[in-house]
Structure 1
Amino acid sequence: MELLGSTFDDSMFIEARDRETVALKSYNAKVCEPQWYCVDVALDTIDSLEKQKVMKFRGDLAVRKGEHQKAFEAYRACLDWISDNNLNIRRDVLEGMARCCIKMGQKERALNLVDLLNKEASNTCHLTSLLLLKVSIYHHYGDVGAKILCLQQLCSLLPFNPWHWLDLGHTCLHLLGSDKTSDYPKDHGCELPSSEETAVLKEDTIWLKACTCFIRSRLLLRILQQQQSSFVLKRSEKALEETESALQHLNPTETTIQSLTEVMSEDLIPEKMREDYQDGESLATMCVQSFRERWWDRIVQTQTNTNM
């Protein structure tokens, strides 16, 4: 009687056929000198891909040196040589141009480039980069209301990223301790906040939102710590210290902390955290609840019930 799995297929012992050997062609690696792209060269003597590389690298080097006007011109020239199907390089160059505009004080031009990037966004990676760019612009020009709205969108898009919650919390905390009118400096050409932005700038709303964000980031950081080590773990530990210090400064009651923790921890399920909102997901099939729909309305309702 044969035991299951105790026999072997005869084919396992047949010698393998000799494989055809393919002669490898000789390959000479291209050796480039440091900053080879800075050497003066007639652009009409090289192909479009080489022109793209030269101008892109020149722009990147100028950014590192703080020469933002020079970098902008190099990036703009690079755009002419990028092929239509190379969307990643095109987006990278457009973002570089926008960040140069921020440094040069050209807010409207930077926002126009943001609009161009927005039209070409097709997945969550694109949208995340776009929102982070907008946060940089609004932070630089003191548009706190617009910055808060962008950070809320980031938290809705990537609800399990503790750093966006921490940034939103710090922005609210900073706003609580500042003169509201000074957050819109006229010399930078800032526009007055919209009605939606005005709604998020009320002091009681900002205080509650700051408490919510720090509690949410604390919950997420504690979960992530279980999978971290080395400098990554140290970064999380430092962030946790920041959240504890911020909450002590905000001084919410134990009842408030408990009610906010209950609402903000409902979706922190390991399976959900792994599967939801994966990077690179197509925007066409993605449905993201707004910050208000997902958390804020419930938080306000919970606080109202608590105070009654």
Structure 2
Amino acid sequence: RGSRENTGIFIVRSSAARKRPILREWCYQSQVSCNRSCPGPDAWQTVSHQCGGRSQSPVNIVTRKTVKDERLTPLQFDGYQEAFNFHLRNNGHTVQLDLPPGVGVSGGHLDANYKAIQLHLHWGKNGSAGSEHTIDGEQFPMEMHIVHIKEDYNSLSQAVKDPTGIAVLGFFFQESLSENKKYTPLVDALKQIIKPSSNASVSGVSLEMLIPPQSSLTKYFRYSGSLTTPDCAEAVVWTLFESTVPLSRTQLSAFWQLQFPEGTEMIQTYRPAQPLNDRSVFYSTGNASLVSWALLLMSVLLSTL
């Protein structure tokens, strides 16, 4: 047996996991209407008390208040270059790509090695604001989350019990004049999952194709937060990259064609920014790779003397 939980992941429950309370259904604000009483983001506390915590996500990042941290070195992306056959589905809240074994992330002052389990996206409508996190108040058209858990854990249910059990990599999208050819297989597959609970296969795609070039990923923001959907567990180490992914208006519009369970447009699938409270947002210096290359060059020169 399994159930959808948190970020839409379909989790096979162990006997211990079954003891956790089953979440009530929840909605995004775009689903709330006079004819539907499903709790929107402002009422998610009634679904899970953790949604009212003091370390919730997403947040608005005020760049002038970020703290530079030289420990935030470039991340190591393992298996991101491998092309796989992915399982894509409309889980009723978003589009989700389930990830195979062998994909993970490490470095960048993360507590451990983390393995990827899925990615999903949040978007607006007609190119309007749709990202969950904002930068200096700017909301992007779409945001992608690649969800990882510590390698020692077998499921998200285990990882949420650890304050740093989950590592999510966040990528912002910008509208571009030309199509992003790397996204063509994924965008084309969306036509097969218009209805909730529908599935499609995507072949010949690697995670590296879906993110900016790794050389541009040295600058990022880091803070401690939560899952952005109920049960809003405060167990997430967030990494948000400054470099954006370009998609054309036509490609973005393919996401707006998906449908919620009630048959309405799947639009504005984001939680509003939450209070930062007493948390700090750290910023990578972005020059760690340059420093390492300088040290390497110096060692080579010294060895020749």
Q: TM-score, normalised by structure 2?
A: 0.23
Structure with higher strand content: 2
Over alpha carbons, which structure has the higher Rg? 1
Larger relative contact order, structure 1 or 2 (CA cutoff 8 Å, min sep 6): 2
Structure with higher helix content: 1
